[in-house]
Amino acid sequence: MATSAVSLEDVPSVDIMTELLRRLKCSSKPDKRLVLIGPPGSGKGTQSPIIKDEYCLCHLATGDMLRAAVAAKTPLGVKAKEAMDKGQLVSDDLVFGIIDEAMKKPSCQRGFILDGFPRTAVQAQKLDEMLEKQGTKIDKVLNFAIDDSILEERITGRWIHPSSGRTYHTKFAPPKAHGVDDVTGEPLIQRKDDTPEVLKSRLDAFHRQTEPVIEYYAKKGILAQLHAEKPPKEVTAEVQKALSS
C-alpha cells in the first residue's frame, strides 16, 4: 500500500530538533479539552492558535475536518460527500465519527480545541457521551460573548488572503498596501457572507442554536464568559485566567 509518510532522513535536522524541543515543552503542560463558542467575528480565530500553541493542543474545526475527510476520500469522507452532493446536511453520526478519528492523532495527545461544535444541546450531550467512553471530558467551554452591533463593524470590514487564511481589517488591522497581502503581495478578497444582510441571518441562527448549548455547559459549571469586544491582548489574558482556574 502506498504511503505519503516522509522519511526522517529527509527532514532537516533543525526541523527535527525544533519538534523535539516543542514536544519536551509540551510534556509538562496539563491536558486540556476545550470547546470554543462564539458568533462569526467574535475573535475565536485570533485566540485559538494562541491557545493551541500555549497548551500543545490540536485545533478541530468541524468544517475543515469534513473538507479534509472528503478530500482524503476516507470512508467517512465518502459518506459525507454523498450527503453534500445531495444537498443534505451531514448527519451528527458522521460528524462525530470524523471528530473521533481526528482525536486519535498524535497531535491531539494532550487535548483539543473544538471550534464551532457542538452547535446544539443534543450534540453537546452526545459529545459528553462519546468522551465518557474514552474516559475523558470537556474541561472548559469558552464563550466569546459580544454585541451584534460590534460584530457588524468587525465583519463587514474584513478582508482575507485565500491561500494562507491571513485576515485583515480596513479599520483594525489594515494591510500595509491597500487590497494586497503583506507577505505575498497577492490580492485580498472579501467573503460573500461578510455583508450586513448575510451576517444578520447568520447571527439570528447562531443565537437560536447556541443559547441552549451555552445553558447546557453553564449548568455543568464549566462555562467561562469572555468579553470578546475587548482588544485581542485583553481577551488573551481573560482566556489564560479562565484556563488556569
Residues noted as catalytic: 44, 119, 158, 191, 202
Tell me the C-alpha to C-alpha distance, in Å, between residue 109 and each of 14, 51, 104, 112, 129.
23, 15, 7, 8, 19
CA–CA separation, 95 and 101 (whole Å): 10
- CA-based nearest residue to 44, from 17, 19, 63: 63
Nearest one of 158, 138, 152, 151 to 221, comparing CA atoms: 138
Distances (CA, A) of 154 to 103, 186, 199: 32, 22, 11
Identity of residue 165: G
